[in-house]
């Protein structure tokens, strides 16, 4: 597997900045199974891996009668 930098931001804004500055070489890690396998097998490259599992609003599942159901991008199926 190639070497890459890893970061675990705490806010969505940080993720957006990292992606914008990543020159197309930043990848999102959310669970990791697919991305890590692809990196290991050389099917994908990454200079930066951004772990979004530590951002509260991305891991939540919420229902509100006014706004409906919201499922965060890193919400677990469990």
User: What is residue 42's DSSP assignment?
Assistant: T
Q: In the chain, what are the domains?
A: 5-71 (3.30.43.10)
Query: pLDDT of the chain along its 78 residues, tens only?
Result: 788 999 999 999 999 999 999 889 999 998 767 898 999 999 999 999 999 999 988 989 999 999 999 998 888 877
Instruction: Tell me which residue has tokens 């009668």.
Output: 65
pLDDT of 64 reads 92
Residues 8, 48: contact at Cβ < 8 Å?
Answer: no
Name 59's bridge partners: none
Closest CA to 74 of 28, 21, 14: 28
pLDDT of 33 reads 74
> Phi, psi (5° rounding) for residue 42?
80, 15
Task: Please tell me whether residue 55 adopts helix, strand or coil conformation.
Answer: coil
pLDDT of 50 reads 94
pLDDT of 77 reads 77
Q: Is this model's pTM higher than 0.85 or not? A: no
């Amino acid at each position: 597997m190639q070497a890459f930098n890893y970061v675990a931001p705490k806010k969505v804004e940080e993720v957006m900045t990292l992606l914008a500055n990543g020159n197309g070489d930043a990848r999102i890690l959310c669970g990791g199974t697919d991305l890590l396998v692809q990196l290991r097998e050389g099917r994908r490259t990454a200079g930066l891996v951004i772990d979004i599992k530590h951002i509260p609003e991305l891991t939540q599942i919420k229902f509100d009668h006014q706004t409906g159901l919201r499922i965060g991008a890193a919400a677990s199926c469990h």
